[in-house]
Structure 1
Amino acid sequence: MISDETVSHELLVESDDAGSRLDALLARSLDIPRTLASSLCKDSHVQVNGRTIAKSLKLKAGDRLHVTIPPQRDPLEIKVEKVEELKIIADDDDYVVIDKPVGVAAHPSPGWVGPTVVGALMAEGYNITTSGAAERQGIVHRLDVGTSGLMVVAKTERAYTALKRAFKERTPTKIYHAVVQGLPDPLEGTIDAPIGRHPGHDWKFAVLEGGRQSVTHYKVIEAFGRASLVEVHLETGRTHQIRVHFSAFGHPCAGDQTYGADPKLGAALGLTRQWLHAKKLGFNHPVSGQWVEYESQYPSDLEGAVELLRNGEY
């Protein structure tokens, strides 16, 4: 199936993105695969300062980009394919808990042609509940494509109903670990600031008056000088909440150039995405009501960055 929609975007290259490759900036800013970003350049769907660009190039601050994304795969079509890096943490009669790798979306969406949690579980033979939207079968909460870690997916109708209600009522415990630039002051606290869609960039979010209530609790676990490892407890679950809050706080997630991270530090740490991992997940069992908890280890890229920070090798 093919979608009949063409989507256009206008982007302004900010000083923090100066020197970035065109395809890398497009992938990061529009949350699309790097391969799609490259093909858009190759197929003359990108203009820089009014000139059509057929290959990638280094960008300058102030460059204006016009991007046209032609019709892609129907966003409702689930691409069934295995994801070798996706780990099954728990396989219950009513749900499955997975450790999602970076580069995998929770479910299909417009413009995304990469692997999804829904498609990967189907490829492994899981029978996921059909509750909810067709393309979001069993999905009761989400992680960004660039964020790794724990997710629970409902396998039955009763689990979907119970877990969806639980996440709406904020009863599950969601604990993330993040490496943020600098040292937050105080070392433990709460960021309570409303979040809404960024007024100048439709792919970003920002702290805005009139935005949706967003509350993030944090505690510094380890300080390295230029960066700190923090434990984050989400009270609410807004899109990009941790990234937006720590950026507004003056301590963006390392490697997160979309929200103002230092590209030199990210490169020194070998990061190609934000250092953010869904570390722990706890919730009441959707049938028995018993409290269950799960924990995930850091993937190799994030673990390697922490070791470099601990050893001062950056």
Structure 2
Amino acid sequence: MEIIEKIVQPENQGVRIDKWVAQLQNDWSRTQIQNWIKKGLISVNGKQVKANYKCEEGDRITICVPEPVELDVVPEKMDLDIFYEDKDVIIINKPRGMVVHPAPGHTKGTLVNGLLYHCDDLSGINGVLRPGIVHRIDKDTSGLLMVAKNDYAHEQLARQLANKTITRKYVGIVHGTIEESYGTIDAPIGRDKKDRQKMAVVDDGKQAITHFQVLERFQAYTFVEFQLETGRTHQIRVHMKYIGHPLAGDPKYGPKKTLPIVGQALHAKILGFKHPRTGEDLQFESPLPADLVNLLTMLKREEIG
């Protein structure tokens, strides 16, 4: 168990203890921290407090970080939409609403559970919880995802990602009418300073580059194609909010008044890369899911009507 001690500085006077601790480490969630507080793993000046305790200047905060517990990931039979498969790679067309890999509190029904049932030779580079997962797409983003079936393939694909040679194109519907026909957003992304559960464009963030091209304009929305040059968490969602055109349906970065869709209207449409063993150029294209087709049909009818 790791023990961390910190002193509250003047600028954090009055901040809730759970929020203050969450700022110390990017991968600590508020829910996780509140659980630690309940278990007595976080104390203030040697005394236990509640999650809503307001920090005071000079408080000595002690955090006893428990050892991570590996989850038992159980294979589950699923009807996976497999676009391509060989001894090295699987290309999956993920439906909207499916989580890619297990996490505390969400250990069933993920893509990894289904992959483990489908085959037992996934890459082990990312450990028990993320076997074979080279890159991710968000739970409520649909579309193409590549999975490595062995460590060699994983290393080769990861290198292509790092070298920015993998083609990843998305399509989505955003709020407002984008006047430019195409453009590039080059703005660094990191944790939101005010809400650690969100990402944001921040000065000290990691480089993030998104290219976009307008496909069709409507009265209050725009249908857009995005191409990722980098792959930061929530990159397209954050960048589009940053330029004032958040994705329709986005529960985290968009407005509440939006189109009738569960989750952001975003689809990973095209995925291209060199085969990790043969070097052959491969490219796959996923058709628009029914929910996006229905939204576009609705928007076109409103334009006519």
* Shorter-chain TM-score tier: 0.7 to 0.9
Letter paired with 2:100:
A
2:73 is the counterpart of 1:78: yes
1:312 — aligned with what?
302
| SS of match in other structure, 2:279 | coil
1:172 — aligned with what?
166
TM (normalized to structure 1)? 0.72
Contact 2:71 2:107 in 1 (8 A): no
Q: CA shift at 1:107, angstroms?
A: 1.4
Contact 1:194 1:208 in 2 (8 A): yes
Contact 2:70 2:128 in 1 (8 A): no
| Whole-angstrom CA distance in 2 between matches of 1:81 and 1:163 | 26
Question: Which of residues 260, 282, 302 is equivalent to 2:292?
Answer: 302
TM (normalized to structure 2)? 0.74
Residues 24-43 of structure 1 aligned to structure 2 (within 5 Å): none
5+ unaligned residues in a row in structure 2: which ranges? 1-16, 20-28, 32-51, 53-67
Residues 100-152 of structure 1: per-residue CA shift (max 9 Å, x gap): 11222221223334422211111223521223322111111111111110001
Residues 266-281 of structure 1 aligned to structure 2 (within 5 Å): 266=259, 270-281=260-271
Q: CA shift at 1:169, angstroms?
A: 1.6
| SS of match in other structure, 1:189 | strand
1:265 — aligned with what?
258
Q: Give the alignment's Cα RMSD to 1 decimal.
A: 2.5
Q: CA shift at 1:205, angstroms?
A: 0.6
2:157 is the counterpart of 1:157: no
| Whole-angstrom CA distance in 2 between matches of 1:286 and 1:133 | 20
Residues 1-314 of structure 1 aligned to structure 2 (within 5 Å): 76-84=71-79, 86-261=80-255, 263-266=256-259, 270-312=260-302
Question: How many residues are aligned here?
Answer: 245
Contact 2:176 2:222 in 1 (8 A): yes
| Whole-angstrom CA distance in 2 between matches of 1:82 and 1:265 | 35
Q: CA shift at 1:75, angstroms?
A: 5.6
Contact 1:104 1:114 in 2 (8 A): no
| Whole-angstrom CA distance in 1 between matches of 2:97 and 2:295 | 18
Q: CA shift at 1:79, angstroms?
A: 3.3
Letter paired with 1:138:
G
| SS of match in other structure, 2:291 | helix
5+ unaligned residues in a row in structure 1: which ranges? 1-7, 11-29, 33-49, 51-72
Q: CA shift at 1:188, angstroms?
A: 0.4
| SS of match in other structure, 1:246 | helix
Q: CA shift at 1:281, angstroms?
A: 0.1
Residues 254-303 of structure 1: per-residue CA shift (max 9 Å, x gap): 01131133x3332xxx2111000100000000011111000111222222
| SS of match in other structure, 1:259 | coil
Q: CA shift at 1:173, angstroms?
A: 0.3
| Whole-angstrom CA distance in 2 between matches of 1:285 and 1:81 | 28
Contact 1:75 1:108 in 2 (8 A): no
Letter paired with 2:124:
T
| Identity score, percent | 41
Which structure has the greater CA radius of gyration?
2
| Whole-angstrom CA distance in 2 between matches of 1:204 and 1:127 | 34
Contact 2:200 2:238 in 1 (8 A): yes
| Whole-angstrom CA distance in 2 between matches of 1:134 and 1:240 | 24
Contact 1:129 1:138 in 2 (8 A): yes
> Bigger CA drift: 134-143 or 121-130?
121-130
Letter paired with 1:93:
K
Residues 53-109 of structure 1: per-residue CA shift (max 9 Å, x gap): xxxxxxxxxxxxxxxxxxxx956332322333x300001221000001122222122
